[in-house]
Amino acid sequence: MARARRRDAPILRRRVGAAATESRTVLRHFLKTRPWWQTVLIIIGFVTVVMTFAVLILGLDDKPDEVTLTGEIGSIGSIDFLSTVSRAVGAPVEHGGEALPLDNGDEFLPALLDAIHHARRSINFSVFMWDGGTFSDQVLAALLERQQHGVPVRVLLDAVGTIAMPDKAFAPLQSAGARVATFRKPTVGNWTRVHRRNHRRAIVIDGRVGFTGGMAVSDKWLGHAEQPNHWRDVMFKVTGPMAASLQAAFADVWATAAAEILTGPDMYPDRAAEVSPDETPSFIHLINSPADDDQSMAYFYLLPVLAARERVWIATPYFIPDDPLKAALMAQARRGVDVRLLLPGPHIDNRLNRWSAQSHYADLINAGVRIFEYEPTFLHSKFAVFDGRWSVFGSPNVNARSRHLDEENAYGVLDDSLGRRLEQMFAADLKRSDEIKLDSWGKRSVLARFLQWMSKILDEQS
């Protein structure tokens, strides 16, 4: 067998050499048979494609590698903490309303349909993903019924998130008078921005009831995450001033996509008699349209980590931390703060994201961070709880896309009862998760280490 391989080797080398010579001949012939200006244009086109790839995929270099504070940040819930977060991200501290977590589709879909059924003045509906199926059929039927009864319906779609949904699915709704607009369709004019998507969740009924969180319209969110093809997720029903604030997350992107500015009491009910600064809870709603050098979404997660004194519990489907967040999590764990990450296990829609997250495991675990991978199905929950008092939830993931590329919206809410409820949900999910231990993690295969290392190259688009 060895002799046979040695006899074949010269033949293989001759074939490879011949192929290379033929390729060079074809290229020279191609260049010689075309005018010089065509050759120049081809070279310019090639360089443009390469440079565009570099800008889009590797060009998020404005983020700082390290963040320092001028002084100690106030503890979670203090006036100093709220003021610091508000000014750092450019969003006001507001008061009043309620946030109710809805566990999986079994709780979210009935609550959503009930809110739509009781709509009387307006329905504004924006999610990132919209797939056909049972979930979609029920939502479209409910929206159509309200539009036919005179309630104006507006649906904002993302061109990428709804790529599998045919336009004809919305035709009956539009024929009844509803407005349907699509955010940033790929065109020649926006090709350098087409990778920046509208990832927000902003569903608002009558300006008084809203829904935001991780879910969208797809059969993935049916049921109670009892099988692998049904995702584990949490949606949040917000009311009062929180819902009024959520309207803004719909309105500014809608104005761009539909050339219509929302005005009037049907969109913004009078809040003067509804809320005062003395009401609780206090909240900050960050509506993010990121530029390359905008760090507001990064700081919205970083500052509560730095302010925590007891616990930092984060659940996210895509964990691609920047350097300041990773350093803060490790520093807090070393100080004795209970830092826990709840991340997806083997069930995930993008393995590169999981491998990239896993590339950080050893550093984090060495510092004392506890990492859990959810086993039954894909964990798509997006929330964090700090010291059981400050809860962060909404559309963002803890990754580069949410920090620097996509339109996002997130709430930070100071509410002890909400914090306790989310900690209970977090703890329940930990019981169905596998904790990653350093000794066993160090024994992973060479292939696994290679895949984790390679996946970090794509972190900026994860």
Note whether residue 132 is domain-resident. yes
Say whether both 56 and 143 belong to one domain. Answer: no
Say whether both 240 and 319 belong to one domain. Answer: no
Note whether residue 325 is domain-resident. yes
How many angstroms separate the CA atoms of 226 and 232, rounded? 9
Name the residue among 212, 246, 203 with its Cα closest to residue 94: 246
Q: Check if the beta carbon of residue 74 is closer than 8 Å to that of residue 270.
A: no
pLDDT digits (tens, 9 = 90+) for 271-311: 654 555 566 799 999 999 876 678 899 999 999 999 999 99
Note whether residue 3 is domain-resident. no
Say whether both 161 and 57 belong to one domain. Answer: no
Domain end, chosen from 279, 311, 341, is at: 279
Q: Check if the beta carbon of residue 302 is closer than 8 Å to that of residue 325.
A: yes
Res 4: pLDDT: 43
pLDDT digits (tens, 9 = 90+) for 159-202: 999 988 988 999 999 999 999 999 988 777 666 677 789 999 99
pLDDT band at residue 1 using 50, 70 and 90 as cut-offs: very low
Per DSSP, the residues of 116-174 read HHT-SS-EEEE-S-B--SHHHHHHHHHHHHHHHTT--EEEEEETTTTTTS-GGGGHHHH
pLDDT digits (tens, 9 = 90+) for 96-147: 999 999 999 999 999 999 999 999 999 999 999 999 999 999 999 999 999 9
pLDDT band at residue 41 using 50, 70 and 90 as cut-offs: confident
Q: Check if the beta carbon of residue 178 is closer than 8 Å to that of residue 154.
A: yes
Joined together, the tokens standing for residue 112 give 């959503």
pLDDT band at residue 23 using 50, 70 and 90 as cut-offs: low
Domain count, the chain: 3
The neighbouring-strand residues paired with 282 are 95, 414
Note whether residue 314 is domain-resident. yes
Say whether both 256 and 325 belong to one domain. Answer: no
Say whether both 192 and 307 belong to one domain. Answer: no
Whole-prediction pTM value? Answer: 0.85
Domain end, chosen from 246, 279, 312, is at: 279
Note whether residue 16 is domain-resident. no
pLDDT digits (tens, 9 = 90+) for 335-352: 999 999 999 999 999 888
Say whether both 309 and 349 belong to one domain. Answer: yes
Say whether both 116 and 167 belong to one domain. Answer: yes
Say whether both 294 and 232 belong to one domain. Answer: no
Joined together, the tokens standing for residue 296 give 């507001």
How many angstroms separate the CA atoms of 298 and 81, rounded? 16
Say whether both 370 and 458 belong to one domain. Answer: yes
Note whether residue 14 is domain-resident. no
- The enclosing domain of 185 has a CATH number of 3.30.870.10
Exposed, middle or buried by CB within 10 Å (0-12, 13-18, 19+), for 71? exposed
Exposed, middle or buried by CB within 10 Å (0-12, 13-18, 19+), for 28? exposed
What's the sign of the alpha-carbon dihedral 202, 205, 210, 215? negative
Domain containing 37: what range? 32-61
Res 452: pLDDT: 82
Say whether both 375 and 410 belong to one domain. Answer: yes
Note whether residue 8 is domain-resident. no
Say whether both 264 and 320 belong to one domain. Answer: no
Domain end, chosen from 279, 301, 320, is at: 279
Say whether both 295 and 227 belong to one domain. Answer: no
Note whether residue 210 is domain-resident. yes
